Structure 1
Amino acid sequence: MRERIYLDHAATTPVHPRVVEAMHPFLTEVYGNPSSVHGFGREARQALEGARDTIARFLDADPQTLVFTSGGTEADNMAIIGGAMAQRERGRHVITSSIEHHAVLHACEHLEQLGFEVTYLPADKTGMISTDELKKAVRPDTILVSIMYGNNEVGTIQPIEEMGSYLREREIVFHTDAVQAVGVLPISVSKLPVDMLSVSAHKINGPKGVGALFLGRKVPFTPYLHGGSQERKRRAGTENLASIIGFAEAARIAQEEMEERVAKYRQMRTTMLQCWQQEGISFEVNGHPEKHLPHILNVSFPGVHTETMLMNLDLEGVAAASGSACTSGSLELSHVLEAMCLDDPVAQSAIRFSFGITNTVEEAERAARKVAQIVHRLKR
């Protein structure tokens, strides 16, 4: 049987066996609606709030500041649209970056259709957003800024603390999409100067279809889902209890294993880069050389087109990606690489390898050898 190596954990991760085990009773036995007042409902409510407490500890947050969502996309949309609409009488200027996930970019485009003005900050060749550029963009009518914590395509970690401190002094609401950073970086919303922060379960070996938004107590916010008074009237709809339980278990495991996981991912990255050096193939690493997420390695092999490399890797049983899973089916150049103004041969040959708990260092080396073989074969 052909070996299969999954190196696309930034797109999604396999559900941890302990997470499946934790969820099972809430799919079969504990089926009450958390909003019901009878015993079945109270049992579900107790489990829901217990899960909220666990995820709050993971993020060092007050449990009451967490709003459960259907995932990172909804959390981003809630933060940007809900945060902007609540302040539209105060101003209509929003700032984001040109390398955000489409959940942020498309939400900002929606705001533009509603009459808001959006400034898209540029990135440098390492994928870094400049705090000085942010400061220049701030205006008296700026009401909201959204900058991602760590980029999902090249892994660059942004100066969130520096940006947040500046914005807090000016009382401008600050949101960060931490979907890729959570689980590989310790995150404390009680220390970080952020007002809203998005996370998703399926990036940390939890189930798909559940996430959360940290929403600071004093942050202006207008809900855009209407129907019930769930989540303290901030997000209507019956909570996805089984998935929330799974999210909490995934968060618990990620917290326990973070140090060990990160050490392995760094070793895998080093192993792949050393392999390519030994094989004598031409490659360039994209993203910041030091400030990058440990599980994401974006690298270009000039002369070998991205789609050609991905197809050949797939035939060899190796799963990698060209960028965000939301756009990887498209043949268009990644908007992140385009915003970084990389040379065409580099941008058009970029591959994202992303590591996870099921991988081994030996797998990383075998995958790297396969990449080298493909490059040598195609160059011949």
Structure 2
Amino acid sequence: MFDVKLVVQVKLLPTAEQAEALESTLHQLNQAASQVSQLAFHTKTLGVHGLRRRVYGELKATGLGAQQAQHVIKKVVDAYTSLRGLIRNGRLTGRRRRRAESEPIIFRPKAAHPFDDRCLSWLHDARTVSIWTVRGRVKDITFTGSPDQLKALAAYRQGESDLLLRDGTWYLIATCEIPEARLETDPDGWIGVDRGIVNLATTSDGINYSGQKLTGYRRKMARVRAELQAKGTKSARRKLKRRAKRERRFATQTNHVIANEIVADAQRTGRGIAVEELAGIRDRVRLWPSQRATLSSWPFHQLGEFLAYKARRAGVAFVEVDPAYTSQMCPNRWCGHTARGNRPTRDSFRCGSCGFAGPADHIAALNVARRASAVWAFVNMPNEPAVASGLSASRAGHPDRTERRKPRASALGR
């Protein structure tokens, strides 16, 4: 059994006086972190021990407690470690890389800051926290969240919690390590899930999660974004950043709702969940220029990730299968005819051999579910030697197994 790491975010409801103390604390801590960062950059001291010898006494002299001084130092070291990782992995290149390497990291006055259990106490029964600030210990700060979040927080919270001020609202972000439920290794069938743009998700049961609302919202945001980009002022750029964050939160919430419903249905019926493997989708499909931005920004992968970790928490089997021809292949077991002509339009399917017809997304989901059975059976074969494939054991809901290469699901499913 393995633990699932879950990030829980709760909202703080401080009084005006409490909020002022929290804001002063964030400002002073981030100002101290920026000063330490400049020293670390110019002296090339990027290790915790070396930096502690140089600045620990000075941080204590400014009024920071021992724990907060340690957190400021570690925050700076972690920031430079992350920067080096971005450069090493090729995610920061060209002018952005040269700029990042030519000047020290500066922390925003309202950037998040970690607090451990010595500086932050959770009182779950009263739903309040007590936190260290530069103005002394502030007690009885009310927090709120969804029932599931509060339950997980009380039972499984581990390590530090981050204090964050975003758009005028205070949050605490904590990591919870939740034990996995016992995995159902012999599922009673599969729920195939086809992901798309017009329909965010369609299941093999015929349930359709329309993307119309999200599409309309994004089109509206695109119009507003174009207007703000045309202005090009600092105020317009600030608004663009806020709207981008709002759009991501809206899409994330939509994906959470869809994933919760699918996983709950699978758990209730004893079935597993199968999705198409979308790696390399941008290279496989041909799109009009107007469609490329939609595909690049659409949260396909996020929905798959939500389904995967929620399935693990619930003990539901989860697999990814080869997406090749899922919307062009007849799902009838005695037919299986595959041809581009089987899909005369985007929304419809009609088999040119046996005449089987239906919505194209539903047909694709049926084929995904059909391939899942073969993939799951192969992945769970005992002592199977590694062979060439496109599926690993970790993708099939077995993170504790050594990754093994498997035959592609499309060959097994036809």
Bin the TM-score by the shorter chain.
under 0.3
The structure whose residues are more often helix, as a share, is 2
Report the TM-score when normalising by structure 2: 0.22
Larger Rg: 2
The structure whose residues are more often strand, as a share, is 2
Greater RCO (CA < 8 Å, at least 6 residues apart) = 1
